[in-house]
Structure 1
Amino acid sequence: MSQLLPDEAADRLVSTCRTTVGDNARSVTFFTRTDHEQLYLRDDLEQDADLMAFIGTERQDFAMASDGYSGTELGEYRYTLRVFENGYAVRIDGRDKGVLVTSDGMELRDFNHLASAVSATLEEWEGED
């Protein structure tokens, strides 16, 4: 049961990520500028990992990325991809909320599909706020 999102929204977000990423999905964490909640964690992963430092870094970078890249010739900021030895972390930002999805190996086009699907879901909720 989600505390930051209505259950239906949390379920839809996890479903969107799992449908897009498939069995490569490791975790899905929803966050705002002040709080976070892990919505999904794959069964074969450490269930008691401390997310505070990890999410804290993403939260700090959350506002900086959108504001810092605004108006550049690169176009509109879409998402952040971090590459690690054992997987990837993809952060997709909305206006005042975001989603961090961790995964096993994927192709770049898969990250683009994931970012588009999550962004569309976030935009729907932002329109309802």
Structure 2
Amino acid sequence: MCRTAVGDALRSVIHFTRDDSELLYLRKDLYGDDRRRALEVKASLVERERVGFSSDERYEPHAAGAGSDPALGDYEFTVRVFTDGFVCRVIVGDHGLLLTAEDLDVDRVEEVAVALRGLLATAYG
């Protein structure tokens, strides 16, 4: 689903829980197609994104930045933008997905994040 929606810009998709992670997709030209090495390299990213887990799925200021308003409602997704790409994190319950990609329109990121959230909710919600 992600590869179809994002196209060639998609770099990787990782499923993660509080204690484990699994590389679901890796673009063939990255890390010499060595999935184990890719997951090792991305381990610090996964660990950083685990901070988003909460017991009631409410937006937590410590997870998204000091001074945030917890009255914003239920968490939906996080996008981190970098000079050469972005990371999108979606968490439902105790399961999360990280998507990394290169240049992509912000509206497309939102569409993909909403779809991923639906998939997680169906599979694990």
TM-score range, shorter chain: 0.7 to 0.9
Query: What is the aligned length?
Result: 110
The answer to whether structure 1 residue 62 and structure 2 residue 52 are counterparts is yes
Q: In percent, how many aligned pairs have the same letter?
A: 36
Q: How does 1:40-119 map to 2 (within 5 A)?
A: 40-46=25-31, 47=34, 48-49=37-38, 50-59=41-50, 61-63=51-53, 66-68=58-60, 72=71, 74-119=72-117
Give the conservation status (yes or no) of the 8 Å contact 2:15–2:96.
yes
Distance 1:54 1:126 in 2: 22
Distance 2:70 2:101 in 1: 30
TM-score, normalised with respect to structure 2: 0.78
Q: Which runs of 4+ in 1 moved over 6 A?
A: none
Q: Secondary structure at the match of 1:77?
A: coil
**Structure 1 stretch 16-25 or stretch 85-94: which is displaced more?**
16-25
Q: What amino acid maps onto 2:113 in structure 1?
A: A
TM-score, normalised with respect to structure 1: 0.76
Q: What amino acid maps onto 1:37 in structure 2?
A: E
